[in-house]
Structures are given as structure tokens and as C-alpha cells.
Amino acid sequence: MEIALVGVGKIAIDQHIPSISASPDWELSATVSRHGSVDGVEAFTDFDEMLEKRRDIRVISLCLPPVPRFDYAAKAIRAGRHVMLEKPPGATLAECHALEALAREHRVSIYATWHSREADKVAAAKAWLADKTLRKLHVTWKEDVRRWHPGQEWIWEPGGMGVFDPGINALSILTEILPVNVHLKSADLDVPENRQTPIGARLDFFHPNGAEVIADFDWRQTGDQIWQIEAVTDEGTLTLLEGGARIQIDGVEDALVSDNPLAGEYPRLYANMAKLLSTGGIDMDLRPMVHVSDALALGRRNAVEPFHE
């Protein structure tokens, strides 16, 4: 199937383009970007022009920042194209609901991708937790923004989400592996004096069975980067490490074996999209984004020192 990639930035170069190239399902047939291109692939700088000239391309993968993404997605859907959305799927929940409604109206598939859910050990963690009684779950997601998001000023502007840009990856895993839904009770947000979005956050969730569920996000981490979820249950402690790439049960590495045949988060996303198209399906799970929206609504804002690159 032919696919067009809109936005040729770091995530597209590092993940999307190699995943499409290696996939038996997809052929990258066009790109849309003001600054980037792919050798041997037809390049456009105007999205409307691509939609008009390449009507043979039925699937659009959007790798733009969240704020402008709605307009592009809506245009694609109205043109009868199927749409794949990089995380987060939009700048607001209302935008995402509108896109899903529009996709249903035009009978096309739309996929809100959460790449961290496709990490190697997430499915195994979900299966192990399914019949356990959870006592406590602690998310620790701490990384260096200068290392992973250099020069990306949009993340500090309204709609950019700040530390929730990586934090939403943890929330996507949280909502995937827990057998029940949780919702936010309270939050503390550290917002640099010269920025619009938080650089750190602490979240406290309500669990229907009384378990303690908390999350700590920080973009000021130096040294070792930490992407960890620890779940204490009545039958032992499960720990996901390195964003879900590794798993431990009571400290024993690889105690659970994953049976996911594909290697890599983004190859699995593109395989999922191919399956959605084969069934005419829609996947717009917005639970991770609900938690971020609630944190920004409920969070107590603490002014912290200015942030400079």
C-alpha cells in the first residue's frame, strides 16, 4: 500500500521512514515537508498539492507537532484518505473527537498511535497483571530535555504539553497494562518562569480498588535516564524498565516471555495500521490524553527557575 509521510523531522527520520521501508505492507510514495525529503521519494512542500496530484495515495501518516495536526488530518479525511496520527493525536481532546467523528462520516480509518504500547514487554506485563490484585503502582519517567528534544521550541508553547510529551508515553503504557481504568485526583506541575508548559509533574490517581497509583515526570534529569513502571501486587512485583523494553518479576530479568513477532515499536504501529485498513477499523483510544488534560486542568502550578537550551 502506498503511503505519504507528512512532516520529515527527527521522529520521521529515526523511526517512521525506516519502519515503512522495512515493512512488507507499505511503500513510501510521497513526503510533505518544508525542510526535509527522502531520496527517491516524490517530495511536496504543500499538502493540498500532494492530495490533488497523488490521489492514488490512500493513506497519510502525520508526523507534525500536535497544534497544526488537526487541519491536516481533517483535510486528508475529507479527501477520503485514511489517517495515522503520531502521538499525541492532537492538541486537544475536542480536536480528537472531531477527527474520529469525521472519519466515521467519511468511512475511513483513523489510528491514534501510542508507540510505547508496542514496546517489547508491554503485552507480557498486561497479561501478568490481568488477574493480580494491585497494591501500588509507581511511574518514574525522567529524562534530559536537552538531549532528546533539542531546539524544539513548540513543546514549550500552549498545546506542546511540555514534560507530558514524553510523559504521555508512560500514561499510554499505564492505561494499556491496568485491567481497570484510573482517573486523576491531583497534580503538581513545575513550570519554568519563562515557559508555558511544565518541565516536571507529579500525579496522583484514583484506583477503583484502592491501590496507590502515582507518577513522577521530570525533564531535568542528568546522568542515567529513567523510564520505569513498578507495580506491586499480592503475588509479587512487576517492573517495566527502559520504557517497556525490559521486564522483571521480583527482580528476575525476563521472567515473562513476549510473543510479539515483530521487533520494534514503530514497525508494530505500521502493522497495526495495515490491519485496521483490512477491517475498515478505527482506533482512537484517548485515555492517555485524558490524563494529561486532567493534569493541566487540576494541576497546582509551581513556578521554577527559567529554562534555557
Q: Which amino acid is residue 260, in one-letter code?
A: N
Q: Do 72 and 176 lie in a common domain? A: no
Of 97, 112, 127, the domain-final residue? 112
Assigned C-alpha cell, 1: 500500500
Q: Is the pLDDT of residue 44 over 90?
A: yes
Assigned C-alpha cell, 79: 479527501
Q: Do 84 and 146 lie in a common domain? A: no
Q: Please write the tens of the pLDDT for every residue from 113-166.
A: 999 999 999 999 999 999 999 999 999 999 999 999 988 999 999 999 999 999
Cβ atoms of 226 and 218 within 8 Å: the answer is: no
Q: Is the pLDDT of residue 258 over 80?
A: no
Confidence category of residue 35, pLDDT binned at 50, 70, 90: confident
Q: How many domains does the chain have?
A: 2
Classify residue 220 by its DSSP letter. Answer: B
Q: How confident is the model at residue 10, as a pLDDT?
A: 86
Give the whole-angstrom CA distance, residue 68 versus residue 193. 25
CATH code (residue 12): 3.40.50.720
Q: Out of 87, 126, 142, 275, which one is annotated catalytic?
A: 87
Active site residue 142: no
Give the whole-angstrom CA distance, residue 284 versus residue 89. 8
For 173, the domain range is: 116-255+292-304
- Give me the mean pLDDT over the 245-268 stretch: 80
Residue of 138, 156, 178, 89 lying closest to 308 (CA atoms): 156
Q: Is the pLDDT of residue 73 over 90?
A: yes
Lowest mean pLDDT, pick from 10-19, 164-173, 180-189:
10-19
Give the whole-angstrom CA distance, residue 142 versus residue 154. 20
Q: Do 168 and 203 lie in a common domain? A: yes
23 part of a folded domain? yes
265 part of a folded domain? no
Of 112, 135, 151, the domain-final residue? 112
- Mean pLDDT rounded to a whole number for the chain: 95
DSSP sequence for 74-114 = HHHHHTT-EEEEPSSS-SSHHHHHHHHHHHHHHT--EEE--
Please give the span between the terminal C-alpha atoms of the chain, in angstroms, as a whole number.
41
280 part of a folded domain? no
Confidence category of residue 259, pLDDT binned at 50, 70, 90: low
Q: Do 28 and 149 lie in a common domain? A: no
Q: How confident is the model at residue 241, as a pLDDT?
A: 96
CB 243: neighbour CB atoms within 10 A? 24
Q: Do 95 and 132 lie in a common domain? A: no
16 to each of 11, 23, 62, 157, how far by Cα in Å? 7, 11, 10, 25
Residues pairing with 32 in the sheet:
6, 44
283 part of a folded domain? no
- Give me the mean pLDDT over the 66-90 stretch: 96
30 part of a folded domain? yes
Q: Do 78 and 139 lie in a common domain? A: no
Q: Do 158 and 40 lie in a common domain? A: no
Q: Is the pLDDT of residue 78 over 70?
A: yes
Confidence category of residue 237, pLDDT binned at 50, 70, 90: very high
264 part of a folded domain? no
Q: Do 161 and 201 lie in a common domain? A: yes
Q: How confident is the model at residue 260, as a pLDDT?
A: 57
Instruction: Please state the φ and ψ torsions of residue 2, each to the nearest 5 degrees.
Output: -85, 140
Q: Is the pLDDT of residue 261 over 60?
A: no
Residue environment code for 101-118, b if the CB has 16+ CB neighbours within 10 A, otherwise e: ebbeeeebbbbbbbbbbb
Q: Is the pLDDT of residue 263 over 90?
A: no
Q: How confident is the model at residue 309, as a pLDDT?
A: 87
Q: Do 199 and 136 lie in a common domain? A: yes
Q: Do 127 and 247 lie in a common domain? A: yes
Q: Do 106 and 122 lie in a common domain? A: no
Percentage with pLDDT > 90 across the chain = 92
Residue of 198, 174, 173 lying closest to 300 (CA atoms): 198
CATH code (residue 227): 3.30.360.10
Confidence category of residue 256, pLDDT binned at 50, 70, 90: low
Residue of 230, 204, 256, 202 lying closest to 135 (CA atoms): 230
287 part of a folded domain? no
Q: Do 163 and 299 lie in a common domain? A: yes
284 part of a folded domain? no
pTM here is 0.94
Residues 6+ apart with CB under 8 A from 38: 5, 8, 17, 28, 31
In the chain, the DSSP E strands lie at 2-6, 27-32, 42-44, 59-62, 82-85, 110-112, 134-142, 183-192, 200-206, 212-218, 226-233, 236-241, 246-249, 252-253, 300-304
Q: Is the pLDDT of residue 230 over 70?
A: yes
Q: Which residue has the cell 512532516?
A: 7
Of 112, 141, 173, the domain-final residue? 112
Give the whole-angstrom CA distance, residue 290 versus residue 285. 10
